[in-house]
Structure 1
Amino acid sequence: MSAESTAPVTGKEPGTRPVDGAGGRPAELVRFDKVTKRFGSHTVLDRLDFSVAAGKHVTLIGPSGSGKTTILRLLMTLTEPDEGTITVGGQRLFPAPEKQVREIRKNIGMVFQQFNLFPHMKVRRNITEAPVTVLGLSRDEADQRAEELLEMVGLADRADAYPSQLSGGQQQRVAIARALAMRPQVLLLDEVTSALDPELVAGVLDVLRDIARSTDITMLCVTHEMGFARDISDDVLMFDRGRVIESGHPDRIFNDPENERTREFLSAVL
């Protein structure tokens, strides 16, 4: 797939995933249509076209500065494109009225490199605050959801701890639970292990592997953990200079890449 084509990322099609598209294909959930983003004179994304089907796990790889994190920031509405359109679930995210943008954003969760937990709130409150204030859940409903998620990420006994009382790996697992508490359609993962000590990385990646295997959530992941990308991805997209230069199933991308730039990148990181 190149930046001038618009090929849906579909990959494997397990029967438990949403199937609403033509011919039984998973429905398209995210689409970038000729999206350009510049910072000053530097073009970060160059007329980027790509789409992600509902329920798929897609990993973006490539050198630093190739535009991967900018894609996630655009979906989180932390920045806006200079040109092109972005749609999520068939609704326009950019350009769109502010009210529509806010509604779509409720369906998108993100886990950042830094944990960004509220230091003055205990773990439970960190997880329940947004479901209560944004989704209108009752405190009891939100607490029950938090307990289930803390069990999922292996921190059921830390609900009443403050973030400062947790290790970095534990804080990142709370951040994952907080993102999932909103029941998003799309979960964005931005180098979620890059701020962790090496011995804490495996635990966080194991949690994400479990989520990928046990839920139908759509995942869009930026990572330099190539083993993790191979494990959880339906498709891998190789970025360079703001464009997708190669895409496909992880077995092909990692074992037999077609593009010379992809081969150079993988030989440097594997």
Structure 2
Amino acid sequence: MHKTTPRDAAPDAPADLVRFDHVVKRFGDHVVLDQLDFAVQRGEHVTLIGPSGSGKTTILRLLMTLERVSDGVIWVDGEPLSHMRGPDGGLKPATEKHLRGIRKKIGMVFQQFNLFPNMTVLQNITEAPISVLGLGREEAEQRARELLDLVGLSDKVGAHPSQLSGGQQQRVAIARALAMRPEILLLDEVTSALDPELVAGVLDLLREIAHSTDITLLCVTHEMNFARDISDQVMMFDSGHVIESGAPEKIFGDPEHERTREFLSAVL
């Protein structure tokens, strides 16, 4: 495979909050993302759709620095995420300290709720703002209570995760991600672990967040109606490539690529 050299200059378009620049991700000999180029503008809501195994979740894991790129560069707010500038001004692989600094701009809600079972709801939400952002406890708790009110769980402040339903736990996870005030919120199949009757409530909450805040959203979902409702742009992935992208009306109403039509006919 052709080896790319990371570009030493930040992307030209300042409106791009996230840019994947010739990104390759391999697991052994398996190429999951192949020379991937795409951008997400500040305040934009972008949904990634496509079959399982097409590389969608890997994109989110790279942005959260849970995985490292094999080649290429990821830019966040004009700064390299996957790399950092060396003494000569060129790019070299990022250190953990650099990754931690960039990571503060990004929040993620996972398929599994990943709440700390020994902590109350309030403690789950305030732990990272206090320990990572350095917020005082009083400010962190005020922020947490406001977010619990937003997600409809103001009466669950002192509850432990085991006392909550799956839908309630996912709402706490959403509040926890928002408590860090990220510029970018990543959503990875956030309803896939929920019982069917709980899905609608969580999706309604996310619709409200999407429509009432200026946060940038990058979402992986198989909930096509949700993707249609919240997205400015929908990207269709297959085999590590974006094969088609556009406004939801275009992708869902008049897709150009045969693979997109096949996928949508199977899930709609």
Alpha-carbon distance in 1 for matches of 2:194, 2:100: 31
Residues 1-270 of structure 1 correspond to what in structure 2 (within 5 A)?
A: 27-95=15-83, 96-270=94-268
Partner of 2:3: none
Alpha-carbon distance in 1 for matches of 2:128, 2:183: 16
Cα displacement string for residues 224-248 of structure 1 (whole angstroms, at most 9, x for unaligned residues)? 0000000000000000000000000
TM-superposed CA distance for 1:263, in Å, is 0.2
Cα displacement string for residues 59-84 of structure 1 (whole angstroms, at most 9, x for unaligned residues)? 00000000000000000000001000
Alpha-carbon distance in 2 for matches of 1:27, 1:245: 23
Cα displacement string for residues 48-107 of structure 1 (whole angstroms, at most 9, x for unaligned residues)? 000100000000000000000000000000000100000101111112233221111011
Alpha-carbon distance in 2 for matches of 1:136, 1:39: 36
- Read off the aligned partner of 1:152 and give its amino acid letter: L
Q: How many residues align?
A: 247
Alpha-carbon distance in 2 for matches of 1:145, 1:266: 40
- Read off the aligned partner of 1:138 and give its amino acid letter: G
Cα displacement string for residues 99-150 of structure 1 (whole angstroms, at most 9, x for unaligned residues)? 2211110110000000000000000000000000000000000000000000
Structure 1 gaps of 5+ residues are 1-20
SS at match of 1:104: helix
Alpha-carbon distance in 2 for matches of 1:185, 1:267: 34
Alpha-carbon distance in 1 for matches of 2:255, 2:80: 34
Alpha-carbon distance in 2 for matches of 1:269, 1:204: 20
TM-superposed CA distance for 1:180, in Å, is 0.2
Cα displacement string for residues 197-246 of structure 1 (whole angstroms, at most 9, x for unaligned residues)? 00000010011000000100000000000000000000000000000000
Alpha-carbon distance in 2 for matches of 1:121, 1:206: 27
Alpha-carbon distance in 1 for matches of 2:38, 2:46: 11
Structure 2 gaps of 5+ residues are 1-11, 84-93
| TM-score of the two chains, using structure 1 as the length reference | 0.90
- Read off the aligned partner of 2:114 and give its amino acid letter: N
Alpha-carbon distance in 1 for matches of 2:95, 2:168: 38
List structure 1 segments (4+ residues) > 6 angstroms apart after TM superposition.
none
- Read off the aligned partner of 2:199 and give its amino acid letter: V
Alpha-carbon distance in 1 for matches of 2:192, 2:52: 13
- Read off the aligned partner of 1:167 and give its amino acid letter: S
TM-superposed CA distance for 1:190, in Å, is 0.2
Alpha-carbon distance in 2 for matches of 1:49, 1:208: 27
| TM-score of the two chains, using structure 2 as the length reference | 0.91
SS at match of 2:142: helix
Alpha-carbon distance in 1 for matches of 2:120, 2:235: 38
Alpha-carbon distance in 1 for matches of 2:218, 2:188: 9
